[in-house]
Structure 1
Amino acid sequence: MSLDFREIATTTMVLFAVIDILGGIPVIVSLRNKVGHIQSGKATIVAACIMVAFLFVGEEILNLIGIDVNSFAVAGAFIIFFLAIEMILGISLYKDDEPESASIVPIAFPLIAGAGTLTSLLSLRAEYHVENIIIAIILNTIFVYLVLKSSGRIGRFLGKSGLSVIRKVFGVILMAIAVKLFAANVHQLFAIQETLATLK
Protein backbone atom coordinates (compact mmCIF):
# COMPACT_ATOMS: atom_id res chain seq x y z
CA MET A 1 0.00 0.00 0.00
CA SER A 2 1.14 3.55 -0.75
CA LEU A 3 -0.69 5.59 1.87
CA ASP A 4 0.31 9.24 1.61
CA PHE A 5 -1.25 11.91 3.86
CA ARG A 6 -0.55 14.64 1.30
CA GLU A 7 -2.31 12.68 -1.47
CA ILE A 8 -5.24 11.90 0.83
CA ALA A 9 -5.56 15.59 1.77
CA THR A 10 -5.38 16.73 -1.87
CA THR A 11 -7.86 14.18 -3.22
CA THR A 12 -10.22 14.82 -0.29
CA MET A 13 -10.23 18.55 -1.05
CA VAL A 14 -10.78 17.95 -4.77
CA LEU A 15 -13.76 15.66 -4.15
CA PHE A 16 -15.12 17.99 -1.47
CA ALA A 17 -15.02 20.89 -3.93
CA VAL A 18 -16.45 18.91 -6.87
CA ILE A 19 -19.26 17.27 -4.87
CA ASP A 20 -20.00 20.72 -3.37
CA ILE A 21 -22.48 19.34 -0.87
CA LEU A 22 -22.57 22.65 1.01
CA GLY A 23 -23.54 24.44 -2.21
CA GLY A 24 -26.26 21.82 -2.67
CA ILE A 25 -27.86 22.59 0.72
CA PRO A 26 -30.58 24.85 -0.81
CA VAL A 27 -31.62 21.97 -3.13
CA ILE A 28 -31.54 19.49 -0.24
CA VAL A 29 -33.63 21.79 1.97
CA SER A 30 -36.11 22.25 -0.89
CA LEU A 31 -36.38 18.47 -1.33
CA ARG A 32 -36.85 17.96 2.40
CA ASN A 33 -39.68 20.51 2.41
CA LYS A 34 -41.35 18.79 -0.57
CA VAL A 35 -41.24 15.18 0.60
CA GLY A 36 -40.63 15.56 4.33
CA HIS A 37 -37.78 13.04 4.61
CA ILE A 38 -34.43 12.34 2.97
CA GLN A 39 -32.88 8.86 3.15
CA SER A 40 -29.46 10.20 4.15
CA GLY A 41 -27.79 6.86 4.98
CA LYS A 42 -29.01 4.99 1.91
CA ALA A 43 -28.23 7.88 -0.46
CA THR A 44 -24.70 8.25 0.96
CA ILE A 45 -23.91 4.51 0.75
CA VAL A 46 -25.18 4.29 -2.85
CA ALA A 47 -23.15 7.38 -3.83
CA ALA A 48 -20.00 5.88 -2.25
CA CYS A 49 -20.56 2.58 -4.10
CA ILE A 50 -21.02 4.42 -7.42
CA MET A 51 -17.78 6.37 -6.89
CA VAL A 52 -15.68 3.35 -5.84
CA ALA A 53 -17.09 1.21 -8.67
CA PHE A 54 -16.37 3.90 -11.27
CA LEU A 55 -12.86 4.33 -9.87
CA PHE A 56 -12.12 0.69 -10.76
CA VAL A 57 -14.40 0.04 -13.73
CA GLY A 58 -14.12 3.46 -15.36
CA GLU A 59 -10.68 2.77 -16.80
CA GLU A 60 -11.90 -0.52 -18.32
CA ILE A 61 -14.79 1.33 -19.95
CA LEU A 62 -12.30 3.82 -21.41
CA ASN A 63 -10.13 0.98 -22.72
CA LEU A 64 -13.15 -0.52 -24.47
CA ILE A 65 -13.71 2.69 -26.41
CA GLY A 66 -9.99 3.24 -27.01
CA ILE A 67 -9.28 6.21 -24.70
CA ASP A 68 -6.29 6.24 -22.35
CA VAL A 69 -6.48 7.58 -18.79
CA ASN A 70 -4.15 10.52 -19.51
CA SER A 71 -6.39 11.80 -22.33
CA PHE A 72 -9.44 11.41 -20.08
CA ALA A 73 -7.61 13.21 -17.27
CA VAL A 74 -6.89 16.17 -19.55
CA ALA A 75 -10.59 16.32 -20.49
CA GLY A 76 -11.46 15.98 -16.80
CA ALA A 77 -9.12 18.88 -15.97
CA PHE A 78 -11.17 21.10 -18.32
CA ILE A 79 -14.42 20.04 -16.62
CA ILE A 80 -12.95 20.70 -13.15
CA PHE A 81 -11.69 24.07 -14.41
CA PHE A 82 -15.18 25.10 -15.59
CA LEU A 83 -16.72 23.84 -12.34
CA ALA A 84 -14.24 26.10 -10.53
CA ILE A 85 -15.28 29.06 -12.69
CA GLU A 86 -18.93 28.38 -11.75
CA MET A 87 -18.03 28.33 -8.06
CA ILE A 88 -15.84 31.45 -8.14
CA LEU A 89 -18.06 33.64 -10.34
CA GLY A 90 -21.39 32.32 -9.06
CA ILE A 91 -22.62 31.56 -12.56
CA SER A 92 -24.23 28.43 -13.96
CA LEU A 93 -22.65 27.03 -17.12
CA TYR A 94 -24.55 23.77 -16.76
CA LYS A 95 -27.52 23.00 -14.55
CA ASP A 96 -29.41 19.76 -14.05
CA ASP A 97 -33.16 19.94 -13.68
CA GLU A 98 -34.09 20.16 -10.03
CA PRO A 99 -35.11 16.70 -8.82
CA GLU A 100 -38.71 16.24 -7.79
CA SER A 101 -38.20 13.71 -4.99
CA ALA A 102 -35.67 12.82 -2.32
CA SER A 103 -35.09 9.25 -3.48
CA ILE A 104 -31.66 7.74 -4.09
CA VAL A 105 -31.60 8.81 -7.73
CA PRO A 106 -31.52 12.61 -7.30
CA ILE A 107 -29.49 12.62 -4.07
CA ALA A 108 -26.91 9.87 -4.70
CA PHE A 109 -26.86 10.60 -8.43
CA PRO A 110 -26.43 13.24 -9.75
CA LEU A 111 -26.25 15.46 -6.64
CA ILE A 112 -23.37 13.59 -4.92
CA ALA A 113 -21.88 11.24 -7.51
CA GLY A 114 -22.56 13.35 -10.58
CA ALA A 115 -20.72 13.58 -13.90
CA GLY A 116 -18.18 16.05 -12.52
CA THR A 117 -17.39 13.78 -9.56
CA LEU A 118 -16.97 10.66 -11.70
CA THR A 119 -14.80 12.49 -14.23
CA SER A 120 -12.67 13.88 -11.40
CA LEU A 121 -12.15 10.39 -9.95
CA LEU A 122 -10.58 9.09 -13.15
CA SER A 123 -8.54 12.27 -13.52
CA LEU A 124 -7.25 11.78 -9.96
CA ARG A 125 -6.50 8.12 -10.62
CA ALA A 126 -4.08 9.16 -13.37
CA GLU A 127 -2.14 11.19 -10.80
CA TYR A 128 -2.62 9.58 -7.36
CA HIS A 129 -2.67 6.10 -5.75
CA VAL A 130 -6.05 4.32 -5.68
CA GLU A 131 -5.97 3.58 -1.92
CA ASN A 132 -5.56 7.28 -1.13
CA ILE A 133 -8.50 8.16 -3.40
CA ILE A 134 -10.69 5.52 -1.70
CA ILE A 135 -9.87 7.02 1.72
CA ALA A 136 -10.80 10.45 0.30
CA ILE A 137 -14.12 9.02 -0.95
CA ILE A 138 -14.86 7.56 2.51
CA LEU A 139 -14.01 10.85 4.27
CA ASN A 140 -16.21 12.80 1.86
CA THR A 141 -19.15 10.41 2.15
CA ILE A 142 -19.00 10.68 5.97
CA PHE A 143 -19.10 14.47 5.64
CA VAL A 144 -21.90 14.26 3.05
CA TYR A 145 -23.94 12.06 5.42
CA LEU A 146 -23.51 14.58 8.27
CA VAL A 147 -24.53 17.45 5.97
CA LEU A 148 -27.60 15.58 4.71
CA LYS A 149 -28.67 14.82 8.29
CA SER A 150 -28.31 18.44 9.42
CA SER A 151 -28.76 20.38 6.16
CA GLY A 152 -31.46 22.66 7.55
CA ARG A 153 -29.39 23.79 10.54
CA ILE A 154 -26.21 24.26 8.46
CA GLY A 155 -28.08 26.34 5.88
CA ARG A 156 -29.54 28.59 8.59
CA PHE A 157 -26.17 28.90 10.39
CA LEU A 158 -24.02 29.76 7.36
CA GLY A 159 -26.61 31.75 5.46
CA LYS A 160 -26.34 32.62 1.76
CA SER A 161 -23.22 34.74 2.24
CA GLY A 162 -21.41 32.03 4.23
CA LEU A 163 -22.16 29.36 1.63
CA SER A 164 -21.02 31.75 -1.11
CA VAL A 165 -17.66 32.40 0.58
CA ILE A 166 -17.01 28.65 1.05
CA ARG A 167 -17.84 27.95 -2.61
CA LYS A 168 -15.47 30.69 -3.82
CA VAL A 169 -12.58 29.50 -1.62
CA PHE A 170 -12.93 25.91 -2.83
CA GLY A 171 -13.42 27.15 -6.38
CA VAL A 172 -9.94 28.71 -6.31
CA ILE A 173 -8.45 25.49 -4.85
CA LEU A 174 -10.26 23.46 -7.53
CA MET A 175 -8.94 25.69 -10.31
CA ALA A 176 -5.35 25.29 -9.10
CA ILE A 177 -5.75 21.50 -8.98
CA ALA A 178 -7.28 21.49 -12.49
CA VAL A 179 -4.22 23.33 -13.80
CA LYS A 180 -1.93 20.83 -12.03
CA LEU A 181 -3.82 17.82 -13.46
CA PHE A 182 -3.74 19.33 -16.94
CA ALA A 183 -0.02 20.07 -16.84
CA ALA A 184 0.93 16.63 -15.48
CA ASN A 185 -1.20 14.65 -17.94
CA VAL A 186 -0.41 16.75 -21.00
CA HIS A 187 3.26 16.13 -20.22
CA GLN A 188 2.55 12.38 -20.02
CA LEU A 189 0.70 12.47 -23.36
CA PHE A 190 3.63 14.23 -25.07
CA ALA A 191 6.03 11.71 -23.50
CA ILE A 192 3.94 8.81 -24.87
CA GLN A 193 3.81 10.42 -28.33
CA GLU A 194 7.60 10.91 -28.32
CA THR A 195 8.12 7.27 -27.30
CA LEU A 196 5.84 6.04 -30.10
CA ALA A 197 7.63 8.28 -32.61
CA THR A 198 10.99 6.89 -31.49
CA LEU A 199 9.76 3.30 -31.88
CA LYS A 200 8.59 4.06 -35.42
Structure 2
Amino acid sequence: MVLFGRLPLSLTFERCHDGAIDVVLAKSMSPLENNWSEYSRFFTALLVILDPFMAIPILLSLTDGYSAAERNRVARTAALTVAAVLVLMALLGETLLHWLGTSLGSFRVGGGIVLFLMALAMLQAQIDRVRTSRQEERSAATRASIAVVPIAVPLLAGPGAMSTVIIAMHRSTAPYHAAMVIGIIALVCLILWIVLRLARPIGALLGDIGLNVLNRLFGLILAAIAVEVIANGLKQLFPVLGT
Protein backbone atom coordinates (compact mmCIF):
# COMPACT_ATOMS: atom_id res chain seq x y z
CA MET A 1 0.00 0.00 0.00
CA VAL A 2 1.23 3.50 -0.80
CA LEU A 3 0.15 4.84 2.57
CA PHE A 4 2.40 2.46 4.53
CA GLY A 5 4.98 1.74 1.82
CA ARG A 6 7.86 3.28 3.74
CA LEU A 7 7.03 1.67 7.07
CA PRO A 8 8.45 -1.61 8.42
CA LEU A 9 6.13 -4.59 8.01
CA SER A 10 5.60 -5.07 11.74
CA LEU A 11 4.84 -1.39 12.24
CA THR A 12 2.48 -1.39 9.28
CA PHE A 13 0.65 -4.38 10.71
CA GLU A 14 0.36 -2.82 14.17
CA ARG A 15 -0.97 0.43 12.84
CA CYS A 16 -3.42 -1.31 10.58
CA HIS A 17 -4.44 -3.55 13.45
CA ASP A 18 -4.96 -0.58 15.77
CA GLY A 19 -6.92 1.17 13.09
CA ALA A 20 -9.12 -1.87 12.63
CA ILE A 21 -9.79 -1.99 16.36
CA ASP A 22 -10.63 1.70 16.37
CA VAL A 23 -13.06 1.20 13.50
CA VAL A 24 -14.71 -1.75 15.21
CA LEU A 25 -15.07 0.18 18.46
CA ALA A 26 -16.45 3.22 16.68
CA LYS A 27 -19.00 1.10 14.86
CA SER A 28 -20.00 -0.81 17.98
CA MET A 29 -20.74 2.44 19.84
CA SER A 30 -23.82 4.34 18.74
CA PRO A 31 -23.77 8.15 18.43
CA LEU A 32 -26.09 8.23 21.42
CA GLU A 33 -23.47 6.45 23.55
CA ASN A 34 -20.73 8.79 22.34
CA ASN A 35 -22.79 11.86 23.35
CA TRP A 36 -24.13 10.45 26.62
CA SER A 37 -21.92 12.71 28.73
CA GLU A 38 -23.20 15.75 26.82
CA TYR A 39 -26.80 14.81 27.56
CA SER A 40 -25.96 14.16 31.20
CA ARG A 41 -24.44 17.64 31.49
CA PHE A 42 -27.48 19.18 29.80
CA PHE A 43 -29.81 17.38 32.22
CA THR A 44 -27.80 18.59 35.22
CA ALA A 45 -27.54 22.14 33.90
CA LEU A 46 -31.26 22.43 33.15
CA LEU A 47 -32.25 21.00 36.53
CA VAL A 48 -29.90 23.37 38.35
CA ILE A 49 -31.07 26.38 36.34
CA LEU A 50 -34.77 25.68 36.92
CA ASP A 51 -34.01 25.03 40.61
CA PRO A 52 -37.49 23.91 41.74
CA PHE A 53 -36.49 24.27 45.40
CA MET A 54 -36.03 28.00 44.85
CA ALA A 55 -39.67 28.24 43.77
CA ILE A 56 -41.05 26.52 46.88
CA PRO A 57 -41.20 29.62 49.16
CA ILE A 58 -42.81 31.71 46.39
CA LEU A 59 -45.30 28.98 45.55
CA LEU A 60 -46.31 28.59 49.20
CA SER A 61 -46.63 32.36 49.58
CA LEU A 62 -48.74 32.85 46.46
CA THR A 63 -50.97 29.85 47.20
CA ASP A 64 -51.56 30.70 50.85
CA GLY A 65 -55.13 29.72 51.65
CA TYR A 66 -55.41 27.37 48.67
CA SER A 67 -56.69 23.85 49.16
CA ALA A 68 -54.41 20.89 48.48
CA ALA A 69 -56.22 20.21 45.20
CA GLU A 70 -55.83 23.83 44.07
CA ARG A 71 -52.12 23.85 44.96
CA ASN A 72 -51.62 20.59 43.04
CA ARG A 73 -53.37 22.14 40.05
CA VAL A 74 -51.01 25.12 40.20
CA ALA A 75 -48.00 22.77 40.33
CA ARG A 76 -49.22 20.77 37.34
CA THR A 77 -50.02 23.85 35.27
CA ALA A 78 -46.64 25.41 36.07
CA ALA A 79 -44.71 22.28 35.08
CA LEU A 80 -46.67 21.88 31.83
CA THR A 81 -46.15 25.55 30.98
CA VAL A 82 -42.40 25.30 31.58
CA ALA A 83 -42.23 22.19 29.38
CA ALA A 84 -44.20 23.87 26.58
CA VAL A 85 -42.06 27.03 26.67
CA LEU A 86 -38.75 25.16 26.67
CA VAL A 87 -39.80 22.75 23.90
CA LEU A 88 -40.94 25.72 21.83
CA MET A 89 -37.58 27.44 22.35
CA ALA A 90 -35.76 24.21 21.47
CA LEU A 91 -37.62 23.92 18.17
CA LEU A 92 -37.68 27.59 17.17
CA GLY A 93 -34.67 29.02 19.01
CA GLU A 94 -32.18 28.58 16.17
CA THR A 95 -34.60 30.15 13.70
CA LEU A 96 -35.02 33.06 16.09
CA LEU A 97 -31.25 33.55 16.27
CA HIS A 98 -30.97 33.59 12.47
CA TRP A 99 -33.84 36.06 12.24
CA LEU A 100 -32.15 38.37 14.75
CA GLY A 101 -28.79 37.97 13.02
CA THR A 102 -27.16 36.73 16.23
CA SER A 103 -24.32 34.22 16.15
CA LEU A 104 -24.31 31.25 18.49
CA GLY A 105 -21.02 32.42 19.99
CA SER A 106 -22.42 35.79 21.06
CA PHE A 107 -25.59 34.09 22.30
CA ARG A 108 -23.48 31.73 24.41
CA VAL A 109 -21.58 34.64 25.96
CA GLY A 110 -24.81 36.52 26.67
CA GLY A 111 -26.54 33.43 28.03
CA GLY A 112 -23.52 32.60 30.17
CA ILE A 113 -23.57 36.08 31.70
CA VAL A 114 -27.26 35.67 32.53
CA LEU A 115 -26.54 32.29 34.14
CA PHE A 116 -23.69 33.79 36.16
CA LEU A 117 -25.93 36.60 37.45
CA MET A 118 -28.49 33.98 38.45
CA ALA A 119 -25.78 31.97 40.20
CA LEU A 120 -24.64 35.01 42.21
CA ALA A 121 -28.21 35.62 43.39
CA MET A 122 -28.59 31.95 44.33
CA LEU A 123 -25.31 32.01 46.27
CA GLN A 124 -26.73 34.91 48.28
CA ALA A 125 -30.00 32.97 48.79
CA GLN A 126 -31.96 35.68 46.97
CA ILE A 127 -34.56 35.68 44.23
CA ASP A 128 -32.69 37.15 41.31
CA ARG A 129 -34.41 39.90 39.35
CA VAL A 130 -33.22 38.36 36.10
CA ARG A 131 -35.98 35.81 36.59
CA THR A 132 -38.84 37.93 37.90
CA SER A 133 -39.48 41.47 39.03
CA ARG A 134 -41.19 42.76 42.16
CA GLN A 135 -44.01 44.14 40.02
CA GLU A 136 -44.70 40.67 38.61
CA GLU A 137 -44.76 39.18 42.10
CA ARG A 138 -47.14 41.88 43.40
CA SER A 139 -49.48 41.58 40.42
CA ALA A 140 -49.56 37.78 40.58
CA ALA A 141 -52.37 37.80 43.11
CA THR A 142 -54.65 39.55 40.62
CA ARG A 143 -54.05 37.08 37.80
CA ALA A 144 -56.44 34.27 36.98
CA SER A 145 -53.64 31.75 37.23
CA ILE A 146 -50.40 32.34 39.13
CA ALA A 147 -49.09 29.05 37.75
CA VAL A 148 -48.24 30.65 34.41
CA VAL A 149 -47.08 34.09 35.61
CA PRO A 150 -44.88 34.47 37.55
CA ILE A 151 -44.15 30.87 38.61
CA ALA A 152 -43.68 29.18 35.22
CA VAL A 153 -42.59 32.28 33.30
CA PRO A 154 -40.29 33.97 34.09
CA LEU A 155 -39.44 32.48 37.51
CA LEU A 156 -38.67 28.96 36.23
CA ALA A 157 -38.54 29.17 32.43
CA GLY A 158 -36.53 32.37 32.39
CA PRO A 159 -33.74 33.63 30.11
CA GLY A 160 -31.21 31.22 31.60
CA ALA A 161 -33.27 28.09 30.90
CA MET A 162 -34.24 29.29 27.43
CA SER A 163 -30.68 30.06 26.39
CA THR A 164 -29.46 26.72 27.76
CA VAL A 165 -32.05 24.82 25.72
CA ILE A 166 -31.22 26.73 22.52
CA ILE A 167 -27.49 26.11 22.95
CA ALA A 168 -28.04 22.41 23.66
CA MET A 169 -30.29 22.04 20.62
CA HIS A 170 -27.61 23.59 18.40
CA ARG A 171 -24.94 21.03 19.35
CA SER A 172 -25.97 18.43 16.78
CA THR A 173 -28.14 17.96 13.71
CA ALA A 174 -28.49 14.20 14.19
CA PRO A 175 -32.09 12.92 13.91
CA TYR A 176 -32.11 11.55 17.46
CA HIS A 177 -30.68 14.74 19.01
CA ALA A 178 -33.91 16.75 19.02
CA ALA A 179 -35.76 13.81 20.56
CA MET A 180 -33.13 13.49 23.30
CA VAL A 181 -33.24 17.21 24.14
CA ILE A 182 -37.04 17.21 24.29
CA GLY A 183 -36.97 14.00 26.34
CA ILE A 184 -34.58 15.56 28.86
CA ILE A 185 -36.80 18.64 29.07
CA ALA A 186 -39.77 16.37 29.80
CA LEU A 187 -37.83 14.46 32.47
CA VAL A 188 -36.68 17.65 34.21
CA CYS A 189 -40.21 19.06 34.12
CA LEU A 190 -41.49 15.81 35.64
CA ILE A 191 -39.05 16.28 38.53
CA LEU A 192 -40.14 19.91 38.73
CA TRP A 193 -43.80 18.89 38.99
CA ILE A 194 -43.03 16.37 41.76
CA VAL A 195 -41.10 18.96 43.79
CA LEU A 196 -43.79 21.62 43.37
CA ARG A 197 -46.53 19.14 44.21
CA LEU A 198 -44.67 18.27 47.43
CA ALA A 199 -43.79 21.91 48.14
CA ARG A 200 -45.50 22.08 51.53
CA PRO A 201 -43.96 18.91 53.06
CA ILE A 202 -40.54 19.71 51.53
CA GLY A 203 -40.70 23.25 52.87
CA ALA A 204 -41.68 21.99 56.31
CA LEU A 205 -38.94 19.34 56.29
CA LEU A 206 -36.06 21.51 55.09
CA GLY A 207 -37.14 24.84 56.50
CA ASP A 208 -35.76 28.16 55.32
CA ILE A 209 -32.19 27.21 56.25
CA GLY A 210 -32.29 23.92 54.34
CA LEU A 211 -33.77 25.57 51.24
CA ASN A 212 -31.12 28.30 51.37
CA VAL A 213 -28.35 25.69 51.60
CA LEU A 214 -29.75 23.88 48.53
CA ASN A 215 -30.03 27.16 46.63
CA ARG A 216 -26.42 28.03 47.42
CA LEU A 217 -25.26 24.57 46.33
CA PHE A 218 -27.17 24.88 43.07
CA GLY A 219 -25.76 28.40 42.67
CA LEU A 220 -22.20 27.13 42.96
CA ILE A 221 -22.83 24.47 40.32
CA LEU A 222 -24.55 27.01 38.08
CA ALA A 223 -21.61 29.43 38.40
CA ALA A 224 -19.24 26.74 37.12
CA ILE A 225 -21.61 25.96 34.23
CA ALA A 226 -21.89 29.67 33.39
CA VAL A 227 -18.11 30.10 33.22
CA GLU A 228 -17.84 27.14 30.85
CA VAL A 229 -20.62 28.50 28.62
CA ILE A 230 -18.94 31.93 28.47
CA ALA A 231 -15.54 30.36 27.72
CA ASN A 232 -16.97 28.27 24.87
CA GLY A 233 -18.72 31.33 23.46
CA LEU A 234 -15.54 33.40 23.56
CA LYS A 235 -13.60 30.61 21.83
CA GLN A 236 -16.24 30.53 19.11
CA LEU A 237 -16.12 34.31 18.67
CA PHE A 238 -12.32 34.48 18.90
CA PRO A 239 -10.86 31.16 17.64
CA VAL A 240 -7.35 32.27 18.63
CA LEU A 241 -8.35 31.73 22.27
CA GLY A 242 -8.77 28.01 21.61
CA THR A 243 -5.21 27.52 20.37
* TM-score normalised by length of structure 2: 0.71
> What is the CA-CA distance between 1:67 and the residue it aligns to?
0.5
- C-alpha contact (below 8 Å) 1:11/1:132 kept by paired residues: no
Structure whose CA Rg is larger: 2
- Given candidates 148, 151, 163, the residue that maps to 1:107 is 151
The amino acid that maps onto 1:43 is A
Aligned position for 1:90:
125
**Deviations along 1:73-123, whole A, 9 cap, x unmatched?**
110001101111111123455242312253433332223212221122223
- Given candidates 78, 88, 91, the residue that maps to 1:43 is 78
- C-alpha contact (below 8 Å) 1:73/1:124 kept by paired residues: no
| Mean CA deviation greater in 37-46 or 136-145 | 37-46
- Given candidates 223, 230, 233, the residue that maps to 1:185 is 233
The amino acid that maps onto 2:92 is V
1:116 aligns with 2:160: yes
Aligned position for 1:17:
48
| Matched position secondary structure for 2:53 | coil
In structure 2, the CA distance between the partners of 1:103 and 1:162, relative to structure 1 (3 Å rule), is closer
Which residues of structure 2 form unaligned runs of 5+?
1-29
| Matched position secondary structure for 2:121 | helix
Q: Distance in 2 between matches of 1:121 and 1:134?
A: 9
> What is the CA-CA distance between 1:131 and the residue it aligns to?
4.3
Q: Distance in 1 between matches of 2:152 and 2:219?
A: 22
Higher relative contact order (CA 8 A, sep 6+): 1
In structure 2, the CA distance between the partners of 1:63 and 1:86, relative to structure 1 (3 Å rule), is same
1:64 aligns with 2:99: yes
Q: Distance in 2 between matches of 1:70 and 1:130?
A: 20
CA RMSD of aligned residues (A): 2.3
| Matched position secondary structure for 1:22 | helix
Aligned position for 1:52:
87
- Structure 1 runs (4+) greater than 6 angstroms displaced: none
In structure 2, the CA distance between the partners of 1:26 and 1:110, relative to structure 1 (3 Å rule), is same
**Deviations along 1:97-155, whole A, 9 cap, x unmatched?**
31225343333222321222112222334557544433331221011110121110111
Q: Distance in 2 between matches of 1:60 and 1:34?
A: 43
Report the number of matched residues: 192
The amino acid that maps onto 1:180 is E
| Matched position secondary structure for 1:23 | helix
The amino acid that maps onto 1:178 is A
Which residues of structure 1 form unaligned runs of 5+?
193-200
Give identity over the alignment, percent. 30
Q: Distance in 2 between matches of 1:171 and 1:103?
A: 24
**Deviations along 1:46-76, whole A, 9 cap, x unmatched?**
2211101101201111111110122111100
| Matched position secondary structure for 2:52 | coil
The amino acid that maps onto 2:221 is I
